[in-house]
Chain A
Amino acid sequence: MKAAVLVFPGSNCDRDMAVALRAAGADVTMVWHKDAVLPEGLDLVAVPGGFSFGDYLRCGAIAAQSPICRALVDHAVRGGFVLGVCNGFQVLTETGLLPGALMRNAGLKFICRTVALEVATRQSDFTSGYEVDRIRIPVAHHDGNYFADPETLARLEGDDLVAFRYLDNPNGSLADIAGILSENRRVLGMMPHPERAVDTGHGGTDGQALFRSLVGALQHV
């Protein structure tokens, strides 16, 4: 399975993402934001966490306009898989690949701790490997307060596109939403960091199932 991890000025979870994907068996290439094309034959593009372009203007807004994000959108439109974590989720909403927006946390504070999540659907190649409903994954963000208009929220709920929910909502997100899927279920954006929970040294390994299911599903036979 071939994956690329995008790197923007200010990305800081790009190498963690690569480590997590490689540990699950993926062949990973790092791609700089000024590149206009993605490597050939990619199955997955991962958009990592961090503070791309210093969060100037809005989180993810400048990154979403970078040359590589045009290639990212083309990849998604072709049916390619995309995983956006934290700032990566913000980038995906700014590109329009996922609906809604991530706003300042309702409590205004930057939140950095491990939170409990519900795996809200297993009907995706990202979540099919979870055997339990409740997992613990770290969050680290200032702008993770998910917002969408009522029609969008109804569509997310009706089409089973909410992938993860907070059990104890830390940031004011609408409907406790921590992660959502695209209509074709091949684009996942989530604020919690699964790549920070893939090794016993991390204090938890509940992120492993996500990377393993994804790499397993995309493994060419």
Chain B
Amino acid sequence: MTLISYLDLHVGLELPAQEFVFTRVDLIKYAGASGDFNVIHWNERVATEVGLPSVIAHGMLTMGTVIRVVTDWLGDPGKITSYSARFTRPIPVPDSDEGATIKVTAKITELLENNQAVISILAIHNDVTVLAKTVVTVTLKP
């Protein structure tokens, strides 16, 4: 695999877009792997009692998934030096085979000294932004 070089980059460069799908089993798997067993991510009864349309995806499942737009492009996830996001809207995951789809795009917003690039990620579900201020800093080879 050819790794991305800092010299290949410019502000405004768009990374390859991706779509991700969450179904109920993905929430179960993430609960087990992360240790986050909050009931609103797996119990429909409790989720609807607290006013949600159905169980919702873990914010950290979404954050951990959408970063693949950067890591798949980069070829080396270890080059990520910071990653932040604000959880603005929940992603309800229906009890269906189709699940919930998240459309993810990303582009370079800033090039810094020391071979660092700042990337902004946009994550959309049903025409709504589900993560805001989703910003990644990568530190590359020159």
Q: Do the two chains belong together in a single complex? A: no
